Structure 1
Amino acid sequence: MKKLLIAILAILTFSVHQSNAQSVFDQVNDPYFGESCTSIMVGKKASTDGSVITSHTCDGRYRTWLDIEKGQKFEKDTTLEIYKGSLKTETAWDRRNMKVVGAIPQAKETYAYLNTAYPCLNEKQLAIGESTIVGPKELVNDEGMFLIEELERVALQRCTTARGAIELIGKLIKEYGYGDWGECITIADKKEVWQLEIFGEGPDKIGGVWAAQRIPDDHIGVSANISRIGVIEKNNKDYFMYSENVFSVAKELERWDGNEEFKFWKAYGKVEKPFKIREFFIMNALAPSLKLDFEADELPFSVKPDQKVSVRDVIALYRETYEGTKYDMTQNLNVVRKKYNKEKEEIGVDTIKALNANPWPNGDNRKLYNYLKDESVEYQRTVAVSWCSYSHIIQLRDWLPDEIGGRAWFSFDNPGQSPRIPIYCGTTELPESFQYCGQQRYREDAAIWQYRKANKLATLQWQSTREGMMEEVAYFEEKGFTELPKLEVQIQKLLKEGKTKEAKVLLNKYTRDFTGATMLRWKELENEYWGKFGLGF
C-alpha cells in the first residue's frame, strides 16, 4: 500500500511540477517562460569574510544529475564537439535527443569542473550562475552553434578568471554563433564577479550581441530573468566589456534610434523596466536604507548593502517566499476554528492560517482559492519555488588553496525546504545517486527524490510541518558551518605535505557522508509525514 501511495505522490508531484514549469521548456508564450532562475552576486568587499559569491537556482524541468568532469591534456589538432539537447538527459551517458551541432579546436589542457545542467564551478575557483532573460524572438538564430550551457562548459574547461571567460565567450559567439534565447550568466573568480548578458543578432546573422558589467566589490547584484545592464560606459574598461556590434545591431534592427541614451536592457530586453519582484525584494532586503521603490521605472544595477553579507545570508534569501509581507501568497488563506473550555463547551472562535496554506500553490489551487473568494491569492514569483531542479550558492576565497577556496552549497528540489550539501573545488567524486536525473520519471536511485518526497508531503499541511522541517534545514546548515573550518585545516595540512590525492579523497568522503546524513533524515521525515496521514493529518 505504501509503495502505491508513493507512486501516486510521484505522479501528482511530477504533474504539479510540469504545470508550474512546463513553459520554461516548451511554450514561449506561457507567462512562466523566462521565470526560471535567480542569481545573487556579492563582491568581495560586500561579503563578511572577503569571499566573492555567485549563485543559481535551476528552476524548471532540467536534468538533476551532476558529476565532476575531469581535466585532461590533448594532442594537437584535437577537436571538441558542441551539443544541443544536454539539459534534459537522464544520465551522463544518456545521448537520447542530443545532437552534435559542430566542433571547435580543443584546448591543450582543460580544467576539472562541476558538471551541473548549467556547468558552474571549476578547479581554479571560476564559478558561473545563470538566469534566462529571454528577449525578443526576432533576435534568436537557431543556426547559431552555441547554447548557453555549452558556452559555460567551454569557459570552465579553459579559463581561470571572469574576464578571461567573458573574452572567450565573446570570441566563440562571434566565430560560431549564438543559438539561444537571451541569457545572463554571472561569472565570478577569486577577485570579482561580472554579469554577462547575451542575445542573438537576428535569424540571418551567425553571431550575437553581448554586454558585461562588473558588480563593484562593495556591492551586491541580482539577475532574475530580466536584462538589467543599462548605460554602457565605453571608456570604463574596468567595469564594462561588450561586443563590437552592440550599438550597430540595435540600430539595424530599429531597437534604438541612435539619438536617445543607449541602454542595453531597453534595446534588447523586451521589458518595460529592468526589474520585477525578486530583484526588488532582494536588493531592498540587503539595502533597506535606500528605500527602493517597487513602482520606480528603474532600480540601480547593483547596491551597496547596509551591512556586509554572509554566505548564510544568501542561503536564507534563497529560501525566501515573502512571508509576512504584502507579497505573501498565504496571507488570505485563513480558516475559522472553534475554541472550547476544559468542559469542552464552545466559548468562541479563532481565525488561523489554514494548515494546508503554503507559499507554493500551483495554478489550479490558486484558481480554486480565487473562485471561492476573489483575490484570495495574487501570484508572486517567489525566490524559492517548488519547481526548482537544483540550486547552488558558490563562494570563492583567494586566501585558501583552490582545492578548498571554492565551495558550492548545493541543494536538490525546492531551496525553501531542502538542506544544502558542500561540494569543493577539490572534490573529484560525488555520491552515486547524483548520477541519475529524477525529472523524467520517479526513480529511487535519483538523489532528488530522496528530498522531494518529504518536501512535497510537507506542503500538504505546511503550517504544521514547516517548523520541524526548518529545524532540520537549520541543523544541517549549522553542521556544515561548524565542521568545515576544521575540515579545511586538515586539507591544508595534507596539501602542504604534498598529499594532494589524500586531501581530495577526504573531501569526497565528507561530501558523501554529509549527503548520506541529509538523505537519511529526509527519509525519516517522509515516514513521519506518512504516519500523520494515518492519524487524519
Structure 2
Amino acid sequence: MSKKNNLLKGLMTLFLSMAVSINVFACTGVVVGKDATEDGSIIIGRTEDIGAAYNKNFVVVPATTYKQGKLFEDLNGFKIEQPQHAYKYTMIPDVAEHEDGIYAAAGMNEQGVAMTATVSAAINDEIKVLDPLVETGIREAAIPSVVLPRIKTAREGVQVLGEIVEKHGSAEGNIILFADKNEAWYMEILSGHQWAAVKVPDDMYAVIPNAFMLGYIDLEDTKNVMASKDVINMPKEKGLLKNHEGKFHLALTYGTEMSEGNRLRAWGGQHFFSPSQNVALDTPAFDLFMKADDKIAVDEVMDLQRYRYEGTENDVNLPENKGKRAIGTEAQAECHIIQMKKEYPKEVGGLMWMAMGNAEHSVFLPTFGGITETHEAYKVPGVNYNQDAAYWTFRGLSTLAELDRVNYGKGVRDYWKQYELNLVKAQKAIDEKVIALAKTDQKAATTYMTEQGIQVAEDAITKAQAIHSQLYTFVAKHGGGRTIKAPFVPTIK
C-alpha cells in the first residue's frame, strides 16, 4: 500500500471514529403522489441512516423456482415458505460481514412494484404489554426479501405483509412504503400483530421520521384503507385508544411521545415543501399528508434528503445547533428515491436514484428496475475501507468534504448538483428509448437498461475518485490552520 493510501486510511479511521453513531431508529422516509409531482410520477424514498462507516451493496436477485416446502429463514428465527415462483427484484443489502441479516433496504421487482422498508418506529409500553412484539416475527432485515418476490401490485404488497404480521407477528415497529405506476401505499406495523395502511392521496406528500404518523382512518373505506381487524378495537377495549381533535388517533395510541429529533425531521420536511403553511415545531400531532406549495421535482427530493434546515433557526450547520438531528445526516449509508412512471411498461418497472454514502456530498445515480446486473463496485464485500467499493468511493470523498463544509464541501456539493441536473435532463430521452425498445424487443430493452445503469455508475465513480484525489491534495496543502485563499473547486470535466 502506498504512503498516500496509508495516510488516507488513517484519516478515514480518525474521522469515522469521531462520527456520531445513529441507532436503529434513524431513517427518514418520503412519498409523493402523482398529482403532486412535476412530471406525474409517483415517488417513494428513504435515507438509510445507520452509520458513517457502513458498506452497502446494490444487486439484482434473479427470479427463482423453489421446491415446495423450501423456507426463507432470518437470523432471529423467523421462517416462511418461499413462493413457488419468486419474482426477480433489485435490492440494496448489507454486506454479509455486518452479520445481521439481509437488510435489502429497497428495491423493485419484475412486476413493476417498488418498496422501501423500513422507517423504524417505537411502540409505547402500554401497547407492548397488550400486544407484545414477537421475537421470531418478521423484521426490517427480511421484509423486502420476503415481500418483493411475491407481489404484483402495491396494494398486494400491503396485503401480503399484513397477513404475515397477523400470522407470524412482527419483531419491530416499522413503516413501509409501496408503489406501482398507479398508486402508492403507506403502511405502519403498530405492534406485535396490528397494522394499518392508507393509499397515498395523489395530490399530497409525506415526510416521515422515526415515528408513527397515522391519525384517524375510516375502516369502511376499503378502497383507500387496509388494516388488521382489531387495530382499533384492541386498544379501545382496554381504554388505551387516544383521541385528537375529537377523533381517535393511531399514532398517539400506539406510538411513543415524539422526540425532538423526530419533530425536527417532520417539521423540516413540511417546512421544505410547504413553507407557506408555517408548521410549528411544537405541533401536538403532525399531519401525515400535506399539500406542497409547488409541484415537486425529483431533484428537490434529492435536496430534501440532504436538508440540514439551512436558512432556518434550526440550521444544524450553525454552532448553536450542533447535535440537532438533521434529515441530511453524516450517518447515511445510502439514500434512494424511486420514481414510478405511468408510461413505463411493467418490464421497465421504475427508476431508482441512489446515492451511496451520505447524500450531502454524494450523487444520485439512476437505474431502471428492469436491469439484470449492476456495476462491480456495488458488490464489494467487507466492512473496512476499500477503494474498489462504490460505497467507500463516495463515502471517502464525503469524509474529506465534511471536514470543512464551506472550504472543502461546497465545491463538491455544487459539482454533484450540476451532474445530477444533467442526468435528470438526459433521462427523458433515455426513457423514450427504453419504452420504444420494450414495445418491440424486450431483450434489447433489458440489455440497454442494464448497460445504461452500469455506464452511469462507471462515469460517476471515476469522477468521484478524481475529485477525491484533488480534494485530498487541497486538504493536505491547506489543513492545520493554514490560510485558505479560495475554497476548493473540482476541475473534473
Contact 2:123–2:191, Cα closer than 8 Å, also in 1: no
Aligned length: 457
Shift of the alpha carbon at 1:232?
2.0
1:270 to 226, 243, 256: 256
- The answer to whether structure 1 residue 190 and structure 2 residue 190 are counterparts is no
1:124 to 108, 111, 115: 111
User: Which amino acid counterpart does residue 6 of structure 2 have in structure 1?
Assistant: L
- Which residue of 1 is the match for residue 5 of structure 2? 3
Choose 159-168 or 458-467, whichever is displaced more: 458-467
Contact 2:191–2:254, Cα closer than 8 Å, also in 1: no
- The answer to whether structure 1 residue 422 and structure 2 residue 347 are counterparts is no
- The answer to whether structure 1 residue 218 and structure 2 residue 218 are counterparts is no
User: Which amino acid counterpart does residue 234 of structure 1 have in structure 2?
Assistant: L
User: Which amino acid counterpart does residue 36 of structure 2 have in structure 1?
Assistant: A
Contact 1:82–1:145, Cα closer than 8 Å, also in 2: no
Shift of the alpha carbon at 1:14?
3.3
Choose 227-236 or 147-156, whichever is displaced more: 147-156
Choose 153-162 or 448-457, whichever is displaced more: 153-162
Give the direction of change, closer, same or farther, for the CA distance of 1:526–1:261 in structure 2 (3 Å limit): same
2:429 to 486, 491, 507: 486
- Which residue of 1 is the match for residue 136 of structure 2? 144
Shift of the alpha carbon at 1:390?
0.6
2 CA distance for matches of 1:216 and 1:330? 34
1 CA distance for matches of 2:310 and 2:432? 39
- The answer to whether structure 1 residue 133 and structure 2 residue 121 are counterparts is yes
- Report 1:73-112 matches (<5 A): 73-75=65-67, 77-84=68-75, 101-112=77-88
Q: What secondary structure sits across from 2:175 in the alignment?
A: strand
Contact 2:33–2:41, Cα closer than 8 Å, also in 1: yes
Q: What secondary structure sits across from 2:309 in the alignment?
A: coil
User: Which amino acid counterpart does residue 67 of structure 1 have in structure 2?
Assistant: V
1 CA distance for matches of 2:423 and 2:90? 20
- Which residue of 2 is the match for residue 322 of structure 1? 309
1:456 to 371, 378, 399: 399
Contact 2:55–2:392, Cα closer than 8 Å, also in 1: no
Q: What secondary structure sits across from 1:57 in the alignment?
A: strand
Shift of the alpha carbon at 1:83?
1.1
Shift of the alpha carbon at 1:425?
1.1
- Report 1:108-507 matches (<5 A): 108-116=84-92, 117-129=104-116, 130-136=118-124, 138=128, 140-179=132-171, 181-201=172-192, 208-251=193-236, 255-256=240-241, 261-272=247-258, 276-332=263-319, 376-437=320-381, 440-498=383-441, 500-507=442-449
2 CA distance for matches of 1:252 and 1:9? 58
User: Which amino acid counterpart does residue 196 of structure 1 have in structure 2?
Assistant: M
1 CA distance for matches of 2:451 and 2:408? 31
Choose 265-274 or 466-475, whichever is displaced more: 265-274
Unmatched runs of 5 consecutive residues or more in structure 1: 25-33, 85-98, 202-207, 333-375
- 1:76-135 alpha-carbon deviations (Å, 9 max, x no partner): x24231213xxxxxxxxxxxxxx6x25433323222111223232222221222211122
2 CA distance for matches of 1:279 and 1:160? 31
Contact 1:41–1:53, Cα closer than 8 Å, also in 2: yes
2 CA distance for matches of 1:322 and 1:381? 10
Q: Percent identity?
A: 25
Shift of the alpha carbon at 1:294?
2.0
Give the direction of change, closer, same or farther, for the CA distance of 1:308–1:12 in structure 2 (3 Å limit): same
Shift of the alpha carbon at 1:461?
2.2
- 1:424-460 alpha-carbon deviations (Å, 9 max, x no partner): 011110011211245x222233211111111111121
- Which residue of 2 is the match for residue 50 of structure 1? 40
User: Which amino acid counterpart does residue 395 of structure 1 have in structure 2?
Assistant: Q
2 CA distance for matches of 1:411 and 1:140? 36
| Two-structure CA RMSD over aligned residues (Å) | 2.3
2 CA distance for matches of 1:458 and 1:67? 28
Q: What secondary structure sits across from 1:395 in the alignment?
A: strand
- Which residue of 2 is the match for residue 20 of structure 1? 21
- Which structure is larger by alpha-carbon Rg, 1 or 2? 1
2 CA distance for matches of 1:513 and 1:257? 53
- Which residue of 2 is the match for residue 532 of structure 1? 474
Contact 1:122–1:156, Cα closer than 8 Å, also in 2: yes
2 CA distance for matches of 1:529 and 1:267? 50
Shift of the alpha carbon at 1:63?
5.1
Give the direction of change, closer, same or farther, for the CA distance of 1:156–1:489 in structure 2 (3 Å limit): same
Give the direction of change, closer, same or farther, for the CA distance of 1:442–1:254 in structure 2 (3 Å limit): farther
- Which residue of 2 is the match for residue 37 of structure 1? 27
Contact 1:399–1:405, Cα closer than 8 Å, also in 2: no
Give the direction of change, closer, same or farther, for the CA distance of 1:258–1:299 in structure 2 (3 Å limit): closer
Shift of the alpha carbon at 1:209?
0.9
Contact 1:119–1:149, Cα closer than 8 Å, also in 2: no
Unmatched runs of 5 consecutive residues or more in structure 2: 93-103, 480-493
